[in-house]
Structure 1
C-alpha cells in the first residue's frame, strides 16, 4: 500500500526507535478501566483523539479531552477516579514524548499477542480518533490553513485510507502482519510530524488552559 505522505514524513522524522518501549499505562488496563466507569470510548480511539488535540492546541487541550472521554460518566462513580488518574498519566506521557521529540513515542494499541483482526481494528480506531480531533477541536484560521496543504493534507488523506483498509482487513498471514507493522510506524511518524508542523501556529493559541500537571 502506497501513501502520498509516507516518504516525506520519514525523511523529516527518521528517528525510528531501536526497540519498542513499554507504555507507562498498559492498554488492557486502561481499556478495562474505561469499561468499568462507563465510558463509550476505546483506548486507541481516545489516544488518537488526544494526540491530534495536542498537535492543534497543545497541553491545554488536556482538560477538554478528559471531559470528552468521560462524558456521561457520573462524577460520583467510584471507578471514574481510577479512570481519570490513568487518562491523566496518558496525557502527560504523550505530551512529553511529542514535545521532546522522543523516538519512544508509540501509539496505544493492543500488544502483539492480540489477534491480528483486533490490532488492525484498533489501528483504524486510533486514526478515526485522530481525525475526529482535527475536525472537532478549537482550531484557528492558521491551523486550518496548515492542515489543508502539504505535508499535513496528505497525511490526513492517508489516515482516512488506513481506516478503510483496517475495516476491510481479514487476513492474518505474514504479509498482513508486515503491512500492519509498516502502517503503525507510518502513523506514529505522521503524528510526530503533525505535532512539529503545527508548533508555530499552536503556540499562538496557548494563552489559557491547563498544563499536564494541572489536570484534575
Structure 2
C-alpha cells in the first residue's frame, strides 16, 4: 500500500496521526526493538482501535509488518523507504510529510526508549532528525534546488534509520505503556 491509500484510511478513521507521521512512529519503534508490537502502534495512531473493522486495520498492520520485515532482514538502504507522497506532489506537501515523518520517528523511538545519552552516531542522527522537524514547509513555488534538497534529506533519513537500527540488539525488551 502506498502513501495515498494509507492516508485515505487514516483520514477516514479520524486518526491521531497522518500517514507519514504514523509510518515514522512505526519505523522509530522498530528501529529500537524489531519485535515491537503492532497492536501498540495501532493504539497509538488510532483512538478507538478496538472498534475499527479489520478492513481498515489490516492494511495498516500489513504496512507495519512489511516495515518490520525490511528492517529485520538488514537489507541495504535501497530496500527501505519512507512512506511519503509521490515526487509529483507539490513540494510543500512533500516537505510537510517529511517533517511529520521525522516527528513520528522521534515519537516512536521515545515511546520505547527515552534516553538522554544515545550511543555513538545515534546521538548525532537524533539531533539531525530534530533539526529536520524544524524544516520550513512553506514552499510555494519550489524549484529543482528545493526538490533536490528534499531528496537528499530523504536519502539521509533512509541511511540514518538503518544506522540507528544497527545500534540496538534484536532482543531489547519492549516497554509497554
1:172 matched to which residue of 2? 142
For 1:191, the equivalent position in structure 2 comes to 161
**1:205 partnered with 2:173:** yes
Q: Following TM superposition, by how much is the alpha carbon of 1:149 offset from its aligned partner in structure 2, in angstroms?
A: 3.4
Contact map agreement 1:39 1:73 (CA 8 A) in 2 = no
**Unaligned segments of structure 1, at least 5 residues:** 1-24, 210-216
Q: Which runs of 4+ in 1 moved over 6 A?
A: none
Q: 1:61 aligns with which of 37, 41, 57?
A: 37
Matched, 1:40 2:10: no
Name the counterpart of 1:83: 56
Gaps of 5+ in 2: none
Note if 1:138 corresponds to 2:112. yes
Alignment equivalent of 1:117, drawn from 92, 104, 115: 92
Does 2:29 correspond to 1:28? no
**Contact 2:25/2:104, CA 8 A, preserved across alignment:** yes
Instruction: Note the alpha carbon deviations across 1:93-152, whole angstroms, 9 max, x for none.
Output: 1011111122311000000111010000000000000011122x233xxx837x523201
How far does the alpha carbon of each residue in 1:135-185 deviate from its partner, in whole angstroms, 9 at most, with x for none?
2x233xxx837x523201100110111111244655511111110100000
Q: Distance in 2 between matches of 1:106 and 1:205?
A: 26
Q: How many residues align?
A: 174
Does structure 2 conserve the Cα–Cα contact (< 8 Å) formed by 1:37 and 1:73? no
Alignment of 1:149-168 (within 5 A): 149-167=119-137
Question: Is 2:148 the counterpart of 1:181?
Answer: no
Once the two structures are TM-superposed, the CA of residue 57 in structure 1 deviates from its matched residue by 2.3
Q: Deviation at 1:26?
A: 1.4
Query: Could you tell me whether the CA contact under 8 Å between 2:102 and 2:133 is conserved in 1?
Result: yes
The 1:61–1:114 alpha-carbon spacing in structure 2 relative to 1, beyond 3 Å, is same
Range with bigger deviation, 161-170 or 49-58:
161-170
State whether residues 46 and 69 of structure 1, in contact with CA within 8 Å, keep that contact through their aligned partners in structure 2: yes
Higher alpha-carbon Rg: 1
Question: What RMSD over aligned residues (CA atoms) do the two structures have, in Å?
Answer: 2.2
